[in-house]
Structure 1
Amino acid sequence: MKRELKTGTGQLPPALLSQVNDCGFFPQLVTDSVGLAVGDEPVDVFLVHHEATFAPEGIGRHLSVLVLTATRLVVCHTDEHNGESGGPTAISSTESVPLRLLGTVAMTRVVSQPEQFGGDGAETVETWLTLSWNTMRRLELEPASCGDPSCTADHGFSGTSAAEDMVIRMSPVSDGAESVQRLVDFGTTLQHRVH
């Protein structure tokens, strides 16, 4: 006897469903994953980001959906994957981050002709949204030196450690101006919520 699966797309805004569907990347799976994580909580704002990924086995697709509610940031990642049988599979995971645990929310914009910002000449060519909630840290190490060019001693390593759980990069050329504006809107809303 086949069991009925519980789905969770009832509370998701029609615009979110439409954007995920427009990506054409397992839309039923993605919206079900997001809906189950969001539950009955109303969605305040959301962001959908579809991108190509590069791996040793070839080019794949990755879809991120970020949903902001009154209390949480819900992050859903869905990736293409080659299963053990050689056939295609997908991996969809969700993470629920209480807003009180959200750390830095950084927005970076690259602007051409910044002296004309606000006018017709300036253009935002790239935008990054960097989020951290201390799940992952990025380490950058390099050999340490003492400054003496003739020194051959091993001084170990020096480096930096930075919290960086998620980075989303968009540009008008690759994602379209509307998508970049949605990224800015989502990022600024999230920045206003984090205390």
Structure 2
Amino acid sequence: MTPLSSAPGRDLQADLNRAGFYPKMVTDILVEALDGREPSEHLVHLETHFDQHEVHRHITVLVLAEDILVVAHVDDQQLDEKGKEVMAQISTELVQLSKVTTVATSYVYHQPQNYRTGDAVKELTVGIAWAGAQRIDLAPAGCADPACDADHGYTGTSQQEDLVLRVSAEADGVAAVTAARNFAKAIRRASAPRSTETRPAALPAPATEVRGRVGSRFGRNTHQG
């Protein structure tokens, strides 16, 4: 197994081993995807959830290397009740950093009325868009007349969303939130380097409102960590 390292003080191989989710297999897949490129920054996010009597885990690994972002996701599944037969499914994607259009971060702070500079973030959500995948949230439309029973179709919003990771200090630890925050800053710098020329800051594009009758089913095209 080829060791993986990245920025000083942040060892990708050590983080994979610490996560303990098939680290040798994930390492080999990342080495193949990087194809000789040297990783500079990374984020390893392991998530566990419970489905009735079963425990499911999956891992998402993001790696910045030169001019690309590598996105790797691994799920496993038990094929029998005793858990002796297990199958792992791995997907990887190489994204040119020049194609990254959005790096969005959402912060949650506890007791904001007592906030002081440097206070820890309770929860952080990182969203990265590059391929124009759309998330559409719909709800029945209405009107101002409370007695109206006419069919007004549906209304909603359409937002770009290729990858969303949610990290919680309570579930994942403060260090995991800090790592996610640092990675978000790193990919923001790498995908949108500052120009020496001073330009007015661009305002974010508003969500597109969608109206009309819906005759098909809409789903989400996202990777969840």
- Under TM normalisation by the shorter chain, which class is it? 0.7 to 0.9
Find out whether 1:142 has 2:139 as its counterpart: yes
CA contact (8 A) 2:42 2:62 kept: yes
Other-structure match for 1:3: none
Q: In structure 2, how many angstroms separate the alpha carbons of the residues matched to 1:67 and 1:56? A: 33
Shift of 1:124: 1.5
Runs of 4+ in 1 over 3 A off after TM superposition: 53-58
How many percent of aligned residue pairs carry the same amino acid? 36
The C-alpha deviation readout for 1:75-122, integer Å capped at 9, x for no partner, is 0000112349x8211111111111111121011211123343226xx4
Pairs aligned (count)? 185
Find out whether 1:117 has 2:130 as its counterpart: no
Q: In structure 2, how many angstroms separate the alpha carbons of the residues matched to 1:24 and 1:166? A: 23
Q: In structure 1, how many angstroms separate the alpha carbons of the residues matched to 2:54 and 2:46? A: 17
**Aligned counterpart for 2:86 among listed residues 88, 99, 102:** 88
Other-structure match for 2:102: 104
For residues 19-168 of structure 1, the aligned pairs below 5 Å read: 19-54=15-50, 58-83=54-79, 87-114=85-112, 115-118=114-117, 122-134=119-131, 136-168=133-165
For residues 154-193 of structure 1, the aligned pairs below 5 Å read: 154-193=151-190
Q: In structure 2, how many angstroms separate the alpha carbons of the residues matched to 1:60 and 1:116? A: 36
Shift of 1:54: 4.8
Q: State the TM-score, normalizing by the size of structure 1.
A: 0.85
CA contact (8 A) 2:120 2:174 kept: no
Q: Which amino acid aligns with 2:70?
A: V
The C-alpha deviation readout for 1:30-80, integer Å capped at 9, x for no partner, is 111111101111111000000014558833100111001121110000011
Q: In structure 2, how many angstroms separate the alpha carbons of the residues matched to 1:57 and 1:158? A: 38
CA contact (8 A) 1:113 1:123 kept: no
Q: In structure 1, how many angstroms separate the alpha carbons of the residues matched to 2:157 and 2:131? A: 15
Q: In structure 2, how many angstroms separate the alpha carbons of the residues matched to 1:144 and 1:96? A: 39
Q: In structure 2, how many angstroms separate the alpha carbons of the residues matched to 1:151 and 1:48? A: 51
Q: State the TM-score, normalizing by the size of structure 2.
A: 0.75
Shift of 1:171: 2.0
The C-alpha deviation readout for 1:17-41, integer Å capped at 9, x for no partner, is 1111111111111111111101111
RMSD: 2.2
SS at match of 1:193: helix
